[in-house]
Structure 1
Amino acid sequence: MDPRRRALRAIVYGVFYRLPHPVRRRLVRAVVPKYIVGGVTLVRDSEAAAPGRLLLLRQPPGRGWGLPAGLLRRGEAPIVGAARELGEESGIHLDPHELTPAVPNAVVHAKGWVDMVFEVSVPASTTVLEVDGAEVYEAAFHPIDDLPRLTVATARLLAYYGLGPLVAPDDPTSMERPKLPQHDG
């Protein structure tokens, strides 16, 4: 991407993410009026010992870490959109067939948002992470048992998979949440 286009993207993302959340939601809904569908990828380090490491991104406004994710394009298959967003945001370019649907695959949020969640394992030591500095400031693998400050949306989503700060280790109901399986790389 040429430097002028990269600079313009940085400005557009900077302005968008400085808008209040309700305004951002209204802008997105103006384009996708019925509901919003996103593709999310949980990327584990295939080389890490249990409980493992998870790829997280720091995006504007940079107050917390999140997962590789983004809105699906009209008519785009969720697995294709998740793979596309993973490549755009982290530099990890995979064939969509390398992703596996997470369990649960669809997470429906109260305000009309649906996340289609997929997972994959890659070797962190040989995986080159590339970010554009506009949409994503930083990408890194983090120990699952010592995650950095997460965005609220990421913390809520990870709880569906028995991960993150919203799952109490001594909470007996947390055993009912599906666990994200480890995959051999």
Structure 2
Amino acid sequence: MPLPVRQLSAVLDALPGPVRRKIVWCAVRLSQPRFLVSVCAVLRTADGRVLLFEHRFWEDGRWGVPSGHMLPGETPQAAAARELREESGLRSTDLRVIDVVGGQRHRVEIWLRGSIDIDEAPGQDVLQAREICRAALLPPEQAVRVARPGQARVLRAILAREEDGGSPRPCTPG
């Protein structure tokens, strides 16, 4: 009989970081195509705050934008909307692709921008506890400071382009 999600999360949390990362990566690789396409959504409130989630399985900084893997046949907008709904029950508007980031082994990230009509971050009672620990709405500069390093670089570039009123242009990691 399979373990309930909370017990499985507790078992994974008790494992050393390298072992936990290997198990999670193997599970993703077994359940996803050989080349992963991920979506990352920069979602802002009317007053400009950025929605971030604290992810349970990330080790190099646990805070990041809502993200996840695309399913076969899914558009980036549909994937980002589905992941946001699954992880928090929230819905976004006007999602549009603004960047594609490569340079990672077996993975590419499609970055989207959208709006979210909320005044407060969702509480733990509505978050998908298996993956997400907490949510926060942060000013852009604070969001960049707390985001995991790889996402912080891309997020900083996207937010800077928005401030400059510039059009999307490719970002590269590093």
Relative to structure 1, the CA distance from residue 71 to residue 11 in structure 2 (aligned partners, 3 Å threshold; closer, same or farther) is: farther
Structure 1 segments of 4 or more deviating over 6 A?
Answer: 174-177
SS at match of 1:153: helix
Identity %: 23
Relative to structure 1, the CA distance from residue 126 to residue 149 in structure 2 (aligned partners, 3 Å threshold; closer, same or farther) is: closer
TM-fit CA distance, 1:83: 0.5
How many residues are paired up? 158
Which residue number corresponds to residue 141 of structure 2? Answer: 145
TM-fit CA distance, 1:82: 0.9
Q: Find the aligned partners of 1:61 and 1:14 in 2 and give their Cα distance.
A: 8
Whether 1:7 and 2:6 are equivalent positions in the alignment is yes
Relative to structure 1, the CA distance from residue 17 to residue 101 in structure 2 (aligned partners, 3 Å threshold; closer, same or farther) is: farther
Unaligned runs of 5+ in 2: 170-174
Which residue number corresponds to residue 43 of structure 2? Answer: 43
- TM-score, normalised by the number of residues in structure 1: 0.67
Q: Please list, as runs of the form range in 1=range in 2, the aligned pairs for 1:1-185 lying within 5 A after superposition.
A: 5-8=4-7, 10-11=9-10, 14=13, 18=17, 19=19, 21=21, 24-46=24-46, 48=47, 52-61=48-57, 63-94=61-92, 98-104=93-99, 106-125=100-119, 128=122, 130-147=126-143, 148-162=145-159, 178=168
Per-residue CA distance 1:47-88 (angstroms, 9 max, x = gap): x1xxx2100000114743111011112332222111110111
Q: Find the aligned partners of 2:57 and 2:167 in 1 and give their Cα distance.
A: 30
| CA RMSD of superposed structures (Å) | 3.4
SS at match of 2:108: strand
Q: Which amino acid aligns with 2:112?
A: F
Unaligned runs of 5+ in 1: 164-173, 180-185
